[in-house]
Structure 1
């Protein structure tokens, strides 16, 4: 789907007003348009990083068909948190977005750790908000009330087209 209008229209139809609404509908995945977005980060201790690495290895071991690259996953050394509002109120979510970690590792060599974190904050909280920010949230069957932030991406809000074109 290369047409931005089609993509925007498709995403717009999947957006729900709040995390609470998704829970009430029994959903396990939800797209929302957050408001009043901000981002913070905290450096993890070496023990926390090692724990994250071990958890991932245990999960990857259960999926024996995965290649070695996935098994060698290196967790981001920062806990990145997003604060936002939806129609259900104010929320704080730890960012579990794979692309955020990938961007951190790719850009830290040229921007430095603090620089790449500020780059991410500017991208998510300024640029994406201006374009039309969407969060992808998901939960697990065992904990349907606990939602994680799985994806952050820009999608312009769909506009009403001319009925005669």
Structure 2
């Protein structure tokens, strides 16, 4: 068991797990720029004081995963420990975030090197700089969670095999499933064209917020998501936080997905005297 200090940079949209229930994948970097993945994290079941934001520093005890072979994956020894101890703000044009995530951490620019690294099980998390963004894609998905998996979760909850928190068990409701998936189309430093799905919680939350504020109009909500992720973010020095999924880490031709976006402002090239 290791005590770790981690800057949270990634929280994915919640998914359903037969074993763990509703969970999110949380990832971040140590002070030396190396990556860690925390899984499972029952984020919505944490007390308000235990929930954390992106760019919060957290300190917790972690143990290596016995079921997930990816090198950065750790299990929280106690999810009640996952409390923020500090926050890295965006002061001075994101100076501290830039220093840690774009200077201390390694930034990849070629997708093939990441694919090769995943196949060798050398890494499953990375900062990536696309050379050019060519599109943003919204595609319809199933609107309901898998009925079999959901039934298994409810049955395990009723049998007290899941959710030790009595209040959560009694009010158990899963988060709504996103009816759309979002993806970026981009080119890397080799000119390789790719399309990669975005699993960031913020993209899903933006869709639901826009849907509520525009009377349930899905077209308007999708347009709002596209404007932010394509039009606004294209005006920044956009980087991706990439991760592989455990299921496809070794098997997929390209196992990488976008688990977070980093729309950092361009760095000032000089100062006025």
Normalising by structure 1, we get a TM-score of: 0.76
Verify: 1:21 aligned to 2:21, yes or no.
Answer: no
SS in 2 for 1:79: strand
Structure 1 alignment gaps of length 5 or more: none
Which of the two has greater strand per residue? 2
Counterpart of 1:43 in structure 2 is: 140
**Relative contact order (C-alpha < 8 Å, sep 6+): which is higher?**
1
When residues 70 and 27 of structure 1 are mapped into structure 2, their CA distance, relative to the original with a 3 A threshold, is farther
Matches within 5 A, 1:97-136: 97-111=200-214, 112-136=217-241
Counterpart of 1:153 in structure 2 is: 262
RMSD of Structure 2 on Structure 1 (CA):
3.2
Contact residue 244 and residue 256 of structure 2 kept, 8 A:
yes
Choose 51-60 or 146-155, whichever is displaced more: 51-60
Normalising by structure 2, we get a TM-score of: 0.49
CA distance in 1, matches of 2:114, 2:183: 21
Counterpart of 2:55 in structure 1 is: none
Verify: 1:32 aligned to 2:123, yes or no.
Answer: no
Contact residue 115 and residue 256 of structure 2 kept, 8 A:
no
Which of the two has greater helix per residue? 1
1:48-98 Cα offsets, whole Å, 9 max, x none, are: 232457657868979746856896121111122221111241111122111
1:161 deviates by 7.8
Choose 99-108 or 55-64, whichever is displaced more: 55-64
Counterpart of 2:181 in structure 1 is: 79
When residues 140 and 109 of structure 1 are mapped into structure 2, their CA distance, relative to the original with a 3 A threshold, is closer
Counterpart of 2:51 in structure 1 is: none
Counterpart of 2:44 in structure 1 is: none
1:134-159 Cα offsets, whole Å, 9 max, x none, are: 11110135533411111123113456
Counterpart of 1:9 in structure 2 is: 99
When residues 106 and 53 of structure 1 are mapped into structure 2, their CA distance, relative to the original with a 3 A threshold, is farther
When residues 113 and 142 of structure 1 are mapped into structure 2, their CA distance, relative to the original with a 3 A threshold, is closer
Choose 69-78 or 148-157, whichever is displaced more: 69-78
Contact residue 41 and residue 79 of structure 1 kept, 8 A:
yes
Choose 68-77 or 81-90, whichever is displaced more: 68-77
The count of corresponding residues between Structure 1 and Structure 2 is 159
Contact residue 37 and residue 125 of structure 1 kept, 8 A:
no
